[in-house]
Homo-oligomer: A and B are copies of this chain.
Amino acid sequence: MAKDKRVEQITDMEVDFAQWFTDVCTKAELVDYSGIKGCFILRPYGYAIWENIQQILDGMFKRDGHENVSMPMLIPESLLQKEKDHVEGFAPECAWVTVGGSEELPERLCVRPTSETLFCDHWSHVVHSWRDLPMLYNQWCSVLRWEKTTRPFLRGREFLWQEGHTLHATEEEARKETLQQLEVYADLCENFLAMPVIRGNKTDKEKFAGAVNTYTIECMMHDHKALQSGTSHFFGDGFARQFDITFTDKDNQQKYPFQTSWGLSTRIIGGIIMTHGDNSGLVLPPRIAPVQVIVVPVAMHKPGVLDKARELYEQLKAAGVRVKIDDSDNSLGWKCAQYEMKGVPLRVELGPKDIENGVCMAVRRDNGEKVPVALSELNEKIPALLDAVQQGLFDKAKQNLDGHIFEAHSVEEARDLQSAHGGFIKTMWCGDLACELQMKEQAGMSSRCIPFEQEHLDDVCACCGKPAKHMIYWGVAY
Contact = CB atoms under 8 A, between A and B. Distances in A.
A144 interface: yes
B72 A47 contact: no
Interface stretch (A7-15, A29-37, A194-202): A29-37
A95 interface: yes
A98 B96 CA distance: 6
Contact of A67 (B32, B44, B101, B126): B44
A102 B51 CA distance: 34
A73 to B, nearest CB: 6
Given A67-B44, A68-B47, A96-B99, A76 B36 contact: yes
Contact of A122 (B34, B111, B121): B34
Quick one: which of A69, A94, A102 has the most chain B CB within 10 A?
A: A69
Given A98-B99, A99-B95, A99-B98, A36 B109 contact: yes
A158 interface: yes
A106 to B, nearest CB: 11
Contacts of A96: 97-100
A79 interface: yes
Nearest to A94: B101
A464 B391 CA distance: 76
Contacts of A51: 68
A205 interface: no
A160 interface: yes
A478 B268 CA distance: 43
Contacts of A122: 32, 34, 41
A321 interface: no
Given A92-B102, A118-B34, A67 B48 contact: yes
A432 interface: no
A137 interface: yes
A160 B96 CA distance: 21
A70 B47 contact: yes
A101 B113 CA distance: 11
A32 B126 CA distance: 9
Contact of A111 (B44, B97, B118, B125): B97
Given A96-B98, A99-B95, A99-B98, A70 B142 contact: yes
A231 to B, nearest CB: 22
A370 interface: no
A88 to B, nearest CB: 13
Nearest to A42: B70
A72 B40 contact: yes
Contact of A98 (B76, B98, B102): B98
A32 B73 contact: no
Interface in A86-116: 92-102, 108-109, 111
Given A48-B67, A100-B146, A146-B100, A36 B95 contact: no
Contacts of A125: 32
A39 interface: yes
Nearest to A40: B72
A71 interface: yes
A448 B247 CA distance: 49
A43 interface: yes
10 contacts: A47-B67, A47-B70, A73-B111, A73-B142, A95-B97, A95-B99, A95-B100, A97-B98, A98-B98, A98-B99
